[in-house]
Amino acid sequence: MKLHELNKLIFDKLNLQQFAPSDSSLNGVQVGDLNQDVSKVALLVDASLEGFKQAKKQGADVIFVHHGLFWGRPLAITGSHYKRVEFLIKNNISLIACHLPLDAHPILGNNAGIADKLGLVDLEPFGKYKSNNIGIKGRLPEKNSIDEIKKLLLGDNEPAFIVPGGKNSVSSVAIVSGGSPFSVLEAIDQGIDLFITGDRSHEVYHTCLEEGINMISAGHYATEVFGVQLVGNWLKTEFNLETIFIDIPTGA
């Protein structure tokens, strides 16, 4: 498979065109020779030099990330940005990025992955951002406590910031991965029991308490590892590409 073929597969599967008017990131190939042969794809959340070095050690010739190098404005190729681009080019490693489409995809997206891990049913789009919904909402098969839901999502040892503003036992859950704490306002309007996102927010803390909603801020990175792994599984299963997920948590 050539890089341009892989790019088209991702472009079509993840509906990149749909998000072009609203997503400031440069989705698709950001660095690379479009005629390059693809044999192994490394999946990372963030485009970082450490991630690139680990991908090289693992023999990857293409890297797929959620957070890429370019965000809608000219960026001088100096400093750390230069070192990242230089490393990719010198080692003939291509970079493909997918931002909002990877949050929103109903099967391969970050929010779909979280919903699946929690076992949500009756799924519907949620989390309006400009012209698209990027999140998801659903219902737990059985009511559960916030602490148990947090454990199910992150395990016992990973921290999360919990605002226990609502019911002790919750049924309806809305999710927007990453940095979307203000989407809790939409969840409040829809009468949702629990809102899950990545980033915490000082501004919405008292609103959650006063409006009677629970909120879990599970970490930006922790809520966005799902999509890249799901894409890796899709590429491996459907196209027999070798894939590797490289985990570099940021603690945020």
pLDDT, position 22: 87
Give residue-wise pLDDT tens across range 193-219.
999 999 999 999 999 999 999 999 999
Q: Is the pLDDT of residue 192 over 90?
A: yes
Q: Which residues contact 27 (CB under 8 A, 6 or more apart)?
A: 16, 19, 20, 68, 97, 98, 99, 100, 101
pLDDT, position 139: 98
Show the domains of the chain with their CATH numbers.
3-99+225-245 (3.40.1390.30), 104-220 (3.40.1390.30)
Tell me the binding residues.
66-67, 103, 220, 224
Q: Is the pLDDT of residue 156 over 90?
A: no
Higher-confidence residue of 157 and 78: namely 78
Give residue-wise pLDDT tens across range 90-129.
999 999 999 999 999 999 999 999 999 999 999 999 999 9
pLDDT, position 215: 98
Q: Is the pLDDT of residue 228 over 90?
A: yes
- The tokens for 72 are 């809608």
8 Å CB contact between 151 and 98: no
DSSP 8-59: HHHHHHTTHHHHTTT--S--EEEES-TT-B--EEEEEEE--HHHHHHHHHTT
Q: What mean pLDDT value characterizes the chain?
A: 96
Q: Which residues pair with 62 in a beta bridge?
A: 41, 94
pLDDT, position 158: 85
pLDDT, position 72: 84
Give residue-wise pLDDT tens across range 38-95.
999 999 999 999 999 999 999 999 999 999 999 988 889 999 999 999 999 999 999 9
Tell me the binding residues for a divalent metal cation.
66-67, 103, 220, 224
> Which sign does the torsion angle of CA 223, 22, 233, 6 carry?
negative
pLDDT, position 15: 94
Give residue-wise pLDDT tens across range 7-41.
999 999 999 999 988 888 999 999 999 999 999 99
pLDDT, position 131: 87
Q: Is the pLDDT of residue 178 over 90?
A: yes
